[in-house]
């Protein structure tokens, strides 16, 4: 693959905090290698800003391997940039050419307030997981766990759902700011496995309730979430979550019904 250098113009969102008014700031970056990742390009720019005594651009990153989901950026109107099933850290500068102008923004969602510049607070996802995205079954040692038979098809479906990295691209891409793809994936991951059955009812009720409390919008069946998900999580997870929620709601109402006591001395009750 041909290697080349390029000069680019960046229009980057700058915002001191969630309460401050944001604005776009323009930067010229020169001699950027086509083999750099998008975040490495930002590293180069920040080194220059620091050397000039200016405030560097704040952005999140950790693994830089497409695993952690922290690099939450909108690039030219697309969550994680122009490449399909890709995170920003895995987006390389060969996606661009000499003289291009690139607009970079943080996720836009009421539930993801801006911390600074391109960093957003995604703790709402953590609180949804804390509400029910776990199991408390004691599986014992490895041999005990192996005694629990798992259907291969269900196992594959659960694995596909578990691929969600919680990056928030689904929320950012949805016009309604819905988190239903994220919650659907986390509910499905455990609902499909035998270890997740004991808390199946409470899990979906609590997680959906917490999702609503966090201020996420409703699903509009637009499928932007699936299209922009870096792991290709299917909207089938949303449908499964809806079925789980309906079933759990009906089960809860049945369980909450008062028991009709019968006087043993009077069989008619």
Residue 269 forms part of a structural domain: no
pLDDT for 148:
77
Query: 10-residue block means of pLDDT along the chain (269 residues)?
Result: 92 96 97 96 98 97 94 95 96 97 96 97 97 81 72 94 97 96 97 92 96 95 95 97 95 60 43
pLDDT for 143:
65
Q: Identify whether residues 92 and 212 lie together within a single domain.
A: no
Q: Where is the domain boundary, 62, 87, 115?
A: 115
Q: Identify whether residues 9 and 53 lie together within a single domain.
A: yes
Please report which helix (H) or strand (E) contains residue 6, including its range.
Answer: strand 5-14
Q: Which domain holds residue 9?
A: 5-115
Q: Identify whether residues 108 and 132 lie together within a single domain.
A: no
Q: Identify whether residues 159 and 101 lie together within a single domain.
A: no
CATH code of the domain in which 85 resides? 3.10.20.30
Q: Is residue 146 helix, strand or coil?
A: helix
Structure tokens at 192: 């499909």
Q: Give the count of domains, the chain.
A: 2
pTM above threshold 0.75: yes
CA distance 167 to 89: 12
Using only C-alpha atoms, the chain has a radius of gyration, in whole angstroms, of 23
Q: Identify whether residues 109 and 174 lie together within a single domain.
A: no
pLDDT for 201:
95
Contacts of the segment 195-198: beta carbons below 8 A, 24+ positions apart:
195/135, 195/137, 195/139, 195/148, 196/135, 198/135, 198/136, 198/137
CATH code of the domain in which 185 resides? 1.10.1060.10
Residue 28 forms part of a structural domain: yes
The distance of Cα 78 from the centroid of its chain, to the nearest Å, equals: 15
Q: Identify whether residues 96 and 49 lie together within a single domain.
A: yes
Residue 11 main-chain phi, psi, to 5 deg: -115, 105
CA distance 267 to 269: 5
């Amino acid at each position: 693959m041909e290697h080349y250098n390029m000069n680019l113009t960046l229009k980057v969102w700058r915002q001191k905090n969630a309460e401050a008014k944001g604005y776009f700031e323009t930067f010229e970056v020169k001699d950027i290698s086509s083999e750099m990742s998008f975040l490495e390009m930002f590293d180069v720019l920040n080194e220059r800003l620091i050397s000039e005594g200016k405030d560097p651009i704040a952005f999140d990153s950790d693994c830089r391997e497409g695993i952690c989901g922290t690099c939450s950026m909108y690039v030219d109107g697309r969550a994680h940039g122009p490449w399909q099933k890709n995170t920003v850290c895995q987006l390389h500068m060969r996606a661009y050419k000499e003289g291009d102008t690139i607009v970079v923004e943080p996720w836009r969602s009421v539930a993801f307030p801006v911390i600074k510049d391109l960093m957003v607070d995604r703790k709402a996802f953590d609180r949804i997981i804390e509400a029910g995205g776990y199991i408390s079954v004691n599986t014992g040692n490895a041999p005990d766990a192996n005694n629990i038979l798992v259907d291969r098809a269900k196992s594959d479906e659960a694995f596909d759902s578990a691929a969600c990295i919680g990056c928030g691209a689904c929320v950012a891409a949805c016009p309604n700011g819905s988190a239903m793809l994220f919650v659907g994936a986390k509910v499905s991951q455990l609902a499909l496995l035998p270890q997740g059955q004991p808390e199946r009812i409470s899990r979906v009720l609590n997680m959906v309730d917490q999702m609503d409390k966090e201020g996420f919008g409703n699903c509009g069946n637009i499928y932007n979430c699936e299209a922009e998900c870096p792991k290709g999580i299917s909207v089938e997870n949303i449908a499964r979550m809806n079925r789980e929620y309906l079933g759990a709601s009906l089960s809860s109402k049945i369980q909450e019904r008062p028991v009709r006591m019968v006087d043993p001395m009077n069989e008619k009750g």
